[in-house]
């Protein structure tokens, strides 16, 4: 049945008709190596619905399926709107396009509420459903409709569809009536819920209220619960910061030191006083260590949580003092102060269909946690890794496990989403960066970390391939912060004039003058953007990768960038 374009989407919903029932098996998505259950076909005749959905309907259980996502519903009247807005993809906007199980004409995100109890067929003995979650769109919608950044539009415009849990199993067939049986939260339509789930995430009162709706599925309710906890923790930190001038440091003990290669060692550090509210998993994060000499050094977190994590550190040639201490002096049992600001510096391009990582040497530490997570959630991923020799490969067990297929959670499909390609310098093997970037593919994203020669070559190759800063993230693990001296006027601190010498950074000078708490920082190599300050006047030699081109006239990274002559800033 064709979708109706003249349905009043704002009209109240009491009863509708099931236009189509759809189900499908897991299939490999066109152009990718991952499987999805999004491609569903019409069911003819009566099907049975149990507590996990339509009999025979398959899902990737990483993000779909389960009791809270047993059945997906979508309003067919959205399709004419999509066709008008995206004429280049109009042929793909037809019922079933969103992978829905139930196609209806009138029910939509404006008149369906979270917790609604819905009867299908006989209201006393037939199928009974409950609205549990809004659909959370992912990159697969971009890939299916061949539209970059399309997925966020679905929740911006509140046309995502929604999930049901099954309260009472029963028969299902196209043509059956579907009716509102009970409404428990009349003010929380799917559209209004999405306002606070996606567009207005900082409303503390609404987050608190939504965290208490028990009928909401764990995926969405859990997000609100976390926000409430995060807000309370932030309030506590703010109160503490008001009375403390210095950055907060916590003591960690080295509980394991292991030689990975002749020049790379790994360290597992554990907090002496674990934080019960700490981040569960760290992805692309940096840890700032304060050494006994007073040096502060940042290293990428290979894996772990804020309470217990692993670092990989290469002995620099020559060392500036940090890596030499960690390799030659630090031992199991050594206590080190570490900044509580464990900040992620590698943004995940969740809307991308494919992910390509390019790493050299110790640069692999910035990406291992991300690639491991991508494997778990079945994202199409390739890791290109350049090493000196086979004996110079750190974290070999992790790398080997990444490239090994593994059964999915339901044991039915094989995960072949990650491909690892090694390049050995001693064998004359070299990355063909032009080829890698040239084959990045539609809606692909690349991440690069390694020595300066690799980073520079990758920048040239990416531009040659026509890629922009939205397509590639460069993650430096070291930075040259020295240069010509310059002066800085801090306008919002009584226009105080400061001088930054050749061997120091603007960040160091600002902290020395105004206190550590006045300028936050994390990676201190220009990756994360935490130390960004406003540029009001003057020219700057920009360094680091965290500042987009569009912000370089109005901001700078105080940890690496340098003024030319005299500049004026706000902190």
Rounded to two decimals, the pTM is 0.76
Q: What are the pLDDT digits (tens) for 301-314?
A: 999 988 999 999 99
SS (H, E, C) 364-407: HHHCHHHHHHHHHCCCEEEEEEEECCHHHCCCHHHHHHHCCCEE
Domain boundaries, the chain: 15-199, 249-339, 354-476, 486-570
The number of CA neighbours under 13 Å toward the Cβ of 471 is 19
Burial grade of 152 (CB within 10 A; 0-12, 13-18, 19 or more)? middle
pLDDT of residue 345: 65
CATH tag for 15-199 (out of 3.40.50.300, 3.20.20.10, 2.40.33.20, 1.10.10.10) = 2.40.33.20
pLDDT category, 91, cuts 50, 70, 90? Answer: very high
Distant-in-sequence, close-in-space partners of 537: CB < 8 Å, separation ≥ 6: 489, 567, 568
- CATH architecture of the domain 354-476 equals 3-Layer(aba) Sandwich (3.40)
Q: Which CATH class is domain 486-570?
A: alpha beta
Q: What are the pLDDT digits (tens) for 149-193?
A: 999 999 899 999 999 999 999 999 999 999 999 999 999 999 999
How many whole angstroms from its chain centre is CA 274? 25
Q: What are the pLDDT digits (tens) for 248-284?
A: 889 999 999 999 999 999 999 999 999 887 767 788 8
Q: Which two tokens stand for residue 40?
A: 């569903």
The predicted model gives 410-436 an average pLDDT of 83
pLDDT of residue 244: 44
- CA dist 557 and 543 (Å) reads 7
Give the closest residue to 62 by CA, choosing from 353, 304, 413. 413
Q: What are the pLDDT digits (tens) for 321-356?
A: 788 999 999 999 999 999 877 766 688 888 899 999
How many whole angstroms from its chain centre is CA 154? 18
CATH tag for 249-339 (out of 3.40.50.2300, 2.40.30.10, 3.90.1150.10, 2.130.10.10) = 2.40.30.10
Give the closest residue to 448 by CA, choosing from 429, 467, 428. 467
pLDDT of residue 243: 44
Given a cut of 50, is residue 384 above it in pLDDT? yes
């Amino acid at each position: 049945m064709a979708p109706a374009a003249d349905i009043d989407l704002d009209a109240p919903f009491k009863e509708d008709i099931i236009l189509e029932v759809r189900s499908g098996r897991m299939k490999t998505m066109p152009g990718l190596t991952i499987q999805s259950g999004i491609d569903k076909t019409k069911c003819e005749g009566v099907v049975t619905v149990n507590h996990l959905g339509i009999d025979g309907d398959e899902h990737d259980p990483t993000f779909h399926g389960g009791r809270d996502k047993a059945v997906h519903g979508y309003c067919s009247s959205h399709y004419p709107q999509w066709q008008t807005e995206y004429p280049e993809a109009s042929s793909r906007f037809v019922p079933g396009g969103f992978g829905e199980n139930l196609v209806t004409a009138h029910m939509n995100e404006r008149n369906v509420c979270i917790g609604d109890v819905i009867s299908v067929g006989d209201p006393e003995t037939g199928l009974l459903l409950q609205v549990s979650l809004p659909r959370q769109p992912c990159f697969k919608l971009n890939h299916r409709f061949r539209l970059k950044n399309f997925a966020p539009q679905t929740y911006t415009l509140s046309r995502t569809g929604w999930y049901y849990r099954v309260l009472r199993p029963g028969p299902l067939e196209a043509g059956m009536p579907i009716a509102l049986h009970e409404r428990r939260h009349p003010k929380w339509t799917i559209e209004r819920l999405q306002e606070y789930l996606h567009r207005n995430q900082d409303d503390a009162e609404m987050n608190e209220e939504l965290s208490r709706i028990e009928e909401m599925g764990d995926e969405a309710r859990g997000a609100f619960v976390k926000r409430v906890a995060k807000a309370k923790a932030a309030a506590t930190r703010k109160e503490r910061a008001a009375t403390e001038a210095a950055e907060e440091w916590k003591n960690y003990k080295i509980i394991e030191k292991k030689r990975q290669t002749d020049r790379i060692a790994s360290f597992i550090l554990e907090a002496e006083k674990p934080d019960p509210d700490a981040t569960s998993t760290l992805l692309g994060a940096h840890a700032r260590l304060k050494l006994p000499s007073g040096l502060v050094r940042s290293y990428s977190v290979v894996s772990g949580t804020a309470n217990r994590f692993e670092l990989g550190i290469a002995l620099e040639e020559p060392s500036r003092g940090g890596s030499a201490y960690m390799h030659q002096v630090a031992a199991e049992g050594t206590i080190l102060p570490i900044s509580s600001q464990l900040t992620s510096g590698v943004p995940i391009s969740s809307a991308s269909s494919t992910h390509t990582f390019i790493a050299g040497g110790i640069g692999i530490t910035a990406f291992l946690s991300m690639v491991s997570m991508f494997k778990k959630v079945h994202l199409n991923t390739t890791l290109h890794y350049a090493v000196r020799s086979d004996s110079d490969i750190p974290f070999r067990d992790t790398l080997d496990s990444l490239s090994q297929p593994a059964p999915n959670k339901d044991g039915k499909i094989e995960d072949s989403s990650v491909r690892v390609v090694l390049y050995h310098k001693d064998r004359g093997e070299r990355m063909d960066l032009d080829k890698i970037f040239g084959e990045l593919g539609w809606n692909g994203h690349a991440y690069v970390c390694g020595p300066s020669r690799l980073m520079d070559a990758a920048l040239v190759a990416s531009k040659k391939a026509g890629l922009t800063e939205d397509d590639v993230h460069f993650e430096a693990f070291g930075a040259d912060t020295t240069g010509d001296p310059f002066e800085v006027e801090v306008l919002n601190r009584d226009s105080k004039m400061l001088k930054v010498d050749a061997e120091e950074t603007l960040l160091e000078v600002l902290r020395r003058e105004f206190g550590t708490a006045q300028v936050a920082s994390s990676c201190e190599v220009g990756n994360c953007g935490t130390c960004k300050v406003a540029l009001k006047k003057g020219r700057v030699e920009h360094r680091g990768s965290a500042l987009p081109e569009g912000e370089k006239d109005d901001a700078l990274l105080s940890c690496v960038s340098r003024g030319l002559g005299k500049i004026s800033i706000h902190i």
